[in-house]
Amino acid sequence: DTGVSQDPRHKITKRGQNVTFRCDPISEHNRLYWYRQTLGQGPEFLTYFQNEAQLEKSRLLSDRFSAERPKGSFSTLEIQRTEQGDSAMYLCASSTTVGELFFGEGSRLTVL
């Protein structure tokens, strides 16, 4: 068990560029969650998967955001045409169906 890993840890991009984050969950976990955290706030739910099915998306997840978990293992979160308001820490977590969430170290996005 190597924990939840996220890549990259830091990303600096210019407004209008596309960025993609990857999350590798704990191997036996069937659920995977994405959260966004801005300075001074708690994490806000974006979306979650059970295996490869995306079961829920928050209203925070605009059309510029897309998440996939193609084989029920790793997941990607893509942001198209980034805006300065997208600057945040993007956290991934995984869990079993009934267990607690285990979080990765996060991917910090800075949009210039």
Partner 1 sequence: AQSVTQPDIHITVSEGASLELRCNYSYGATPYLFWYVQSPGQGLQLLLKYFSGDTLVQGIKGFEAEFKRSQSSFNLRKPSVHWSDAAEYFCAVGAKEYGNKLVFGAGTILRVKS
DSSP conformation class of 84: G
Show the site string, 20-59: x = touches partner 1 by CB under 8 A, - = not.
-----------x-x------xxxxxx--x-x----xx---
Q: Does 98 bind partner 1 (CB under 8 A)?
A: yes
The C-alpha atoms of residue 12 and residue 4 are separated, in whole angstroms, by 22
> Could you give the 3-state DSSP secondary structure of residue 36?
strand
Return the number of the residue (57 or 80) whose C-beta is nearest partner 1: 57
Q: 15: how many CB neighbours lie within 10 A of its CB?
A: 12
Which chain residues interact with partner 1 by CB under 8 A? 4, 31, 33, 40-45, 48, 50, 55-56, 91, 93, 95, 97-106, 108
